[in-house]
Chain A
Amino acid sequence: MTKKRNILRNLLSALFVLCSGSFTGVAQTTPDPGIAGPYAVSKLEYNFGDLAFTPPPAAAFPDNIEVIGSVHYPTDLSHGPYPVLLFLHGRHVTCWQTSDSSVALEWPCPTGWQSVTSYEGYYYLANNMASHGYIVISISANAISAIDNSLPDLGMNARAVLVQHHLDLWNAWNTVGGAPFDSLFIGKLNMQNIGTMGHSRGGEGVIYHAQYNASLGSPYGIKAVLTLAPIDYNRHVLNGIPLMDVSPYCDGDVSDLEGVHFYDDARYNDTSDEAPKHTILFTGADHDFFNTVWTPYLYPGGADDWLYYFSDTAAFCGASAPGSGRFDTTTQQAALTAYLAAFYRIYIGNETQFNPILQVSDIVPPASSMIGSSQIFVSYHPARVDRLDVNRTDNLTTYTTNTLSGNVTETGLVSSAICGGGLTMAVCDPGLSSDQLPHGGTAGTAGLGQMRMQWNDRTEWYQNALPVAYENLTPYQSLQFRATVDFVETATDSNLNFTVSLIDLAGDTSSQVVTNHSQALFYQQGTEPTDLPKEVFNTISIPLSSFTGINESKVRYIRFKFDKVSAGAVMISDLAFTNPLCGNFTALFSDSVTRVSLKAFFTNKSTSYDKDSLTWKWNFGDPASGVNDTSTQKNPFHIYPHSGTFNPCLYVTSYRKNGLVCMDSFCTSVHVATVGVPVINENKITIIPNPAKDYIQINGAANTDVLTLIDLYGQVVLTATLTQPIVQLPQSFPTGVYYAIITTGSGRIYNKLLIAR
């Protein structure tokens, strides 16, 4: 058996130019997603009344809810259907009195009072996205805000059913039309390509909605969910849908930035989850300025939420503080416009040219965001197929053994531990408040597992070993991890920094200084008792192409060398190699030969990312058959001219949505004979467990069948006649991928086997 992988590149990646470790001179090479698009925008409203919707009993909401919303759309609707976005606001005062601008939390509003139209506060986002061809709906939820604190779920189920109700209305307007839009939107909404955004309590609401929609059989295609300064009161976990959480560092309302849990909790809990996840940290943003109706001086009830309980002169977040880092409203809204647009244009619009912005490979913010690279930080969790987790730091055992079963070692550290708080781990910095530890756990829920390291000498280091099965890094593009400075043990003027080294089998080392690639090792800003500074994790991504002078196919260690500052402390998590050039892509097939003729059947067993487009090309090793020697079918057959051994090959090409083209091939030898042999029923022979550890059990095989195990290098590592179904796996077999070939009297069956120690 032979395998040959040929990787063709057709990448749309950004180039990164460094200038003396500073990013001031770095050019922005990724297109700007926040710039307005080419379409003129129109806006309409709909209002069916303050009590128009009766929630179903399952929502456990005691009152009726208003059905009110706005829609921004491309004025010229001659094309379409258009992708859809739906925005849901959070909790805010609901009514105001024109006579004296007093406000109330009540629904419906008293006679003579006006409703506070919180749903209108995202018009700047809606305008921008509609200019790019989106239909953007924003809905009112004042009835929920008025009483949700008296409910066990804080009204989240009500928010979910309300969103679904509005989607039902839009589905009707999209199919049969009706008042108030008549036929305007018929055929114009792609109800299978919807993104949702929830601000504050609306953030948890759209999480609930995505799950509610799924529970109904997914009548609508929710393809992306953005939580904007959300609460995560109920700690639901959303898997399977691209997610982005936006955290404002100077949030005076949801000041514990608990929305990071939506990202943290969803990283590893579901092994089938292929949805990427992101977080955004805006350093100078507050909670309310994202919504123009909640912004001071524009509408009654607007406020700088930092001033709810914190000081206006608090360092960094106080707007009146010397050297304040606060964004004004224009900047804050521009920043959100750019990054929200990037998110939806990638995951709804499939505009992958913006990937570098959210994948931390281009950390210079788009110009339209009006912020600099020290004012915005991103975390990126790739799809499972796009990463190799080296050390998840998600449990206590990763202190000594990483996720790949490689050894974890350190030398000389003052202190080190896996911590994070919550169910099984200690709190990393127990003297800090929950506001200062957004990733921390609570009494009933787990926090973010992290490796905390403190050093006081430049010779100290921390190291993760790579087992042999994972030494080949050539398929990957980046090494990444999340990090935050432990400000409790780090001096404010330390300019914390360290070196990441890769060490190969021969002992050759290549190193990269972290601050040449990221500004995420910043000493957190601000001073406010029990609130600032905060330890927030952000992704640091280092291109593997920068590690030169080593054998990239024989890398054995990742070492963090704390050689840049004499003392400091840092927490890291999610150490991984990411963005594999071809991901989970393997060419493979099984063959069987019929008893009556020399007819060989080939069963395609190639694997790929399920969103890839694949083509097949077979060569049956029978050139005398002319044009019949090839096929482009997925599962072909071939009639060989005579008995003997032939060498068929399968060539598979994968076309990924991001433009990447990969090829892989698989060749083997097939013996055909005129003596009849039964057709193999592949489904009859199974191998369990898979992944395996100490043994495998082959069910359905004859006691004369032969098992052959081959490693990734094509070496036969085990041969056994299956006189009994259980085959022990020697402990010397490292963790990795193997091919299990079962040779029967009628042919061979190929299976991919993962051995996980």
Chain B
Amino acid sequence: MKKIFFLSLIALFFSGGLYAQEKARTEITSVKQKGEIVRYMLTSSKPFIVGNNTYILHVGDRSFFQYEQSENKGAGSITFLISVNDFNQLEDGNSVYLTYGMVSANADMESLSKRSTRCWAIGKFSKDILTK
């Protein structure tokens, strides 16, 4: 059984307000293949929400919804689970974004990442980052 251990600061219990102050810095930490799954990990300077909406990883015109999340000393990590087959079909150079919630089919992701507190521009996709 998978265990996802998650610690949050006491301050979160009292205010819940830390999230909304400024946009968290979010970046790719590791991309590792484990069996037939590529574990695409992002970390953030703030915790990821344990909510009912879903984080979505957007790579070019592809979207990925399955992930695990955890937290360590106030920093959040989220690991998307991408099949090897899907990963291999992704194109180098595609823009990578992370959103909390769905986006419109015609959304301008670059613009959204600048305007929305729930959309992060991660960078460009590259298969070279994959480690096995």
Contact = CB atoms under 8 A, between A and B. Distances in A.
Interface string A44-84: 00000000000000000011000000000000000000000
A296 B16 contact: yes
A103 B20 CA distance: 20
B3 A254 contact: no
B88 interface: no
B118 to A, nearest CB: 5
B91 interface: no
B69 A149 contact: yes
B6 A150 contact: no
Nearest to A89: B52
Contacts of A530: 112, 115-116, 118-119
B104 interface: yes
A357 to B, nearest CB: 27
A529 B116 contact: yes
Contact of B10 (A101, A200, A440): A101
A311 B20 contact: yes
A149 B7 contact: no
B68 A149 contact: yes
A63 B19 CA distance: 31
Contacts of A105: 4, 6, 50, 69
Given A304-B16, A421-B104, A93 B50 contact: yes
Interface string B3-45: 1111111101111110110000000000000000000000000
Residue of B17, B69, B116 most packed against chain A (CB within 10 A): B17
A307 B14 CA distance: 13
Nearest to B23: A309
Nearest to B1: A63
B42 to A, nearest CB: 14
Contacts of B53: 231, 253-255
A152 interface: yes
Interface residues of A, number: 62
Given A303-B16, A441-B105, A530-B112, A93 B100 contact: no
A435 interface: yes
A254 B52 contact: yes
B35 to A, nearest CB: 14
Contacts of A493: none
Given A150-B2, A254-B52, A309-B20, A297 B103 contact: no
Contact of B51 (A152, A253, A302, A437): A253
Nearest to B100: A309
A110 B5 CA distance: 9
B66 A434 contact: no
Contacts, number: 155
A152 B66 contact: yes
A201 interface: yes
A52 to B, nearest CB: 14
- Looking at chain B's contact residues, the main secondary structure is loop
A310 interface: yes
Given A105-B6, A307-B19, A434-B102, A529 B117 contact: yes
Contacts of B2: 62-63, 147, 150
A510 to B, nearest CB: 41
Contacts of A201: 52
Interface in A606-648: none
A150 B68 contact: yes
Contact of A149 (B8, B17, B54): B54
A400 to B, nearest CB: 25
B123 interface: no
A435 B102 CA distance: 8
B66 A150 contact: yes
Contacts of B101: 254-256, 434-435
B67 interface: yes
B104 A434 contact: yes
A433 B101 CA distance: 11
A149 B5 contact: no
Given A231-B53, A434-B102, A310 B7 contact: no
B81 interface: yes
A434 B103 contact: yes
A619 to B, nearest CB: 63
A560 to B, nearest CB: 28
A268 interface: no
A440 B106 CA distance: 11
Contact of B13 (A147, A300, A422, A427): A300
Nearest to A258: B102
A440 B104 contact: yes
A443 interface: yes
A304 to B, nearest CB: 5
Contacts of B17: 304, 307, 312
Contact of A253 (B3, B49, B103, B116): B49
Contacts of B20: 306-312
A418 interface: no
Given A105-B4, A434-B107, A530-B115, A150 B81 contact: yes
Nearest to A434: B104
Given A93-B50, A254-B52, A309-B117, A442 B16 contact: no
Interface of A: 62-63, 90-93, 100-106, 110, 146-147, 149-152, 154, 200-201, 229, 231, 233, 253-256, 258, 287, 296-297, 300-312, 421-422, 427, 430, 433-435, 437, 440-443, 529-531
11 contacts: A91-B51, A93-B8, A101-B10, A105-B4, A147-B68, A149-B65, A150-B81, A231-B53, A302-B16, A303-B12, A427-B104
**Smallest CB-CB A-B distances: 8 pairs:** A303-B16, A443-B105, A200-B52, A530-B116, A253-B51, A309-B117, A105-B6, A434-B104
Given A103-B6, A150-B81, A310-B20, 7 more contacts: A104-B4, A106-B6, A254-B52, A301-B8, A302-B16, A421-B105, A435-B101
